[in-house]
Chain A
Amino acid sequence: MTDVLEEWVPRVYRFALRLTGDVHAAEDLTQETLLRAWSRRLQLRDPRAARVWLLRIAANLWRDQARRARLPAARPEPLGEDVPSSCRPPGSDVADREELGRALAALDALPPRQREVLYLSACDGLTRAEIAEVLGVSPDAVKANLCLARQRLRRQMTEPPRLGGRVP
């Protein structure tokens, strides 16, 4: 069991973090997702579908919680610092870390649906159909949100970062 958890907990947790925008809520959601999945594991006929199945459980649990509590949409604080590009030593670890921080901040600043579809596409490698299944929306909605999210991220990541400001 531990080996299975070592594999799946980080993946579920990182998706939960995108959903909730809060580390504590993401921990709780990860735990509940794995408990629910374990209790219903016999429903998983095809182990290859485990990834979509688990992420769908997480998304459904989060949607239910949000509906019950009428939680505001997650708006996590950007984790990276914005530093003008002229201050970066090119190719250094510091510059790389800063750019990764910018990317993550830009992702987390997207509207919730765009953030979720882009995360599932870019970071989890899911197809439109799989994303639609995880989020319970139509493939067309996934396509539209992906298009908007990508355009926004491309624009933000190719613009020079603003000194001391948050990613809009």
Chain B
Amino acid sequence: MNPSPCDPLDNYLDRALPDEAHAAFADHARQCPTCRQAVEDQGRVDDLLRRAVAREPVPEGLTPRIARRLREAERGRRLRRAAGLAAALLAGLGLWGLGRQPPPETPRPPEQAETAPPAPDPRSLVDVTFESSPSVIALPLRTDSPNVTVIWIYPTADVDAPDPTLVERNGP
């Protein structure tokens, strides 16, 4: 069965024809009353749908409510991350402190005990490096134990800052 020149109608409406075929069907539609009517009707229906949908009101308060939920979620995420980082640091410092503990006293020859160097103050040896991040402030606090330093980590970033991954608009 030979293909009808009306067959590409749906592909034409979908803008799915190659340029040449698109132009050929447009020529055909000018001559064919059925196709011309279908193209005109569909254009009118699509226009009506676009305008009708654009008039549908978005519930008042929906956008601010979502913004608030996003801020809460973001704050929670930063706090969890900061808490995890703090826990990791404390664990690391604790392990380091254990490693610096003098070994259990064992009987030694007197001359060896006299020449052993004094244990260093752990606080003077801690060297903590943070990744460069403008979103946290780290505040070290000494404790009564020479082997433990508590570090408070506060999230500071402005979550209202625009996210570049979602800013660019695409399409009509």
Which residue numbers of A lie inside 8 Å of B, CB to CB?
A: 1-10, 13-14, 17, 23, 27, 30-31, 34-35, 37-39, 41-42, 44, 47-51, 99-104, 107, 118-119, 121-128, 143, 146-147, 150, 153-154, 157-158
Residues of A within 8 A of B108 (CB): none
Q: Report whether A124 and B171 are in contact in the complex, using a CB–CB cutoff of 8 Å.
A: yes
| B120 interface hit (Cβ, 8 Å) | no
CB pairs A–B below 8 angstroms (13 shown): A1-B162, A4-B162, A9-B66, A14-B58, A17-B56, A44-B166, A47-B170, A48-B168, A107-B49, A122-B45, A143-B10, A154-B45, A157-B45
Q: How far is the CB of B125 from chain A (nearest CB, A)?
A: 37
User: Which size bracket describes the interface of B in this complex?
Assistant: 35 or more
Residues of A within 8 A of B46 (CB): 122
Residue in A10, A17, A41, A42 whose Cβ sees the most chain B Cβ within 10 Å: A10
Q: How far is the CB of B70 from chain A (nearest CB, A)?
A: 5
| B167 interface hit (Cβ, 8 Å) | yes
Knowing A34-B70, A35-B66, A154-B41 touch, does A122 contact B14 (C-beta < 8 A)? no
Which single residue of chain B is at the shortest CB-CB distance from A144? B10
Q: Report whether B45 and A39 are in contact in the complex, using a CB–CB cutoff of 8 Å.
A: no
Residues of B within 8 A of A37 (CB): 166
Knowing A1-B159, A9-B62, A127-B15 touch, does A119 contact B41 (C-beta < 8 A)? no
Residues of B within 8 A of A50 (CB): 165-166, 168, 170
Q: Report whether B48 and A103 are in contact in the complex, using a CB–CB cutoff of 8 Å.
A: yes
Residues of A within 8 A of B13 (CB): 146, 150
A8 to B42 Cα, complex, angstroms: 27
Inter-chain pairs besides A1-B70, A119-B53, 14 sampled, C-beta below 8 Å: A5-B66, A35-B69, A35-B73, A39-B77, A48-B170, A103-B52, A107-B52, A123-B50, A126-B171, A128-B14, A128-B16, A147-B10, A154-B38, A157-B45
